């Protein structure tokens, strides 16, 4: 799996490197606009509010909206998905494992999206390679992938199925 992911990352980097300066500038501007727009338009609705350590972790993660995604990064100037969640919970005084796969084995599992609370960890894809923080109203706060930044996104557009949540 690691070699497969590294191959995909290498191909993405080759594609990125093949862009002209104008194309790179346009892509960067679009990503910045998308990150700002997602922060401006996210509607968190009447979801169960975060409390205690989940609330503190979620607040910490909110402060990183717009911070670039870098594979393997744990902050404070860049993050990958599990780097963001482990950093956010550390700011709340809670140590959780570093990887999404390990984070999936802590706390209480929640299989129904309707039972999620703000600050719960939410996991995607069958191999659990992506994690974010539940933001309410079907939204997640996460570090999506290379070339993007920490942002809010609908859980329905992540690109892989929601598997379950974890209440830490």
**81 annotated active-site:** yes
- Of 142, 153, 155, 168, the catalytic one is 142
68's CB contacts (< 8 A; 6+ apart) are 77, 78, 79, 148, 149
Helix (H, G, I), strand (E, B) or coil at 102: helix
Catalytic, 129? Answer: no
> Pick the catalytic residue: 50, 81, 116, 133?
81
What secondary structure does DSSP assign to 66-93, as a single string? TPBB-TT-BSSS-B-HHHHHHHHHHHTT
Q: Which among 60, 69, 85, 130 is annotated as catalytic?
A: 130
130 labelled catalytic: yes
Alpha carbon 28 to its chain centroid, in Å, reads: 19
| Residues labelled as active-site residues | 81, 130, 142
């Amino acid at each position: 799996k690691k070699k497969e992911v590294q191959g995909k990352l290498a191909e993405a980097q080759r594609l990125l490197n093949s862009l002209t300066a104008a194309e790179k500038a346009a892509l960067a501007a679009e990503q910045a606009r998308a990150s700002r727009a997602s922060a401006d338009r996210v509607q968190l609705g009447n979801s169960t509010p975060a409390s205690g350590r989940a609330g503190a972790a979620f607040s910490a993660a909110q402060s990183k909206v717009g911070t670039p995604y870098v594979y393997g990064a744990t902050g404070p100037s860049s993050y990958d998905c599990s780097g963001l969640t482990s950093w956010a919970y550390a700011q709340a005084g809670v140590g959780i494992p570093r990887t999404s796969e390990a984070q999936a084995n802590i706390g209480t599992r929640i299989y129904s999206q309707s039972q999620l609370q703000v600050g719960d960890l939410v996991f995607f894809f069958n191999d659990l390679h992506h994690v974010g923080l539940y933001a309410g109203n079907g939204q997640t706060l996460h570090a999506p992938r290379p070339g993007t930044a920490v942002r809010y996104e609908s859980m329905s557009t992540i690109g892989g199925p929601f598997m379950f949540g974890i209440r830490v």
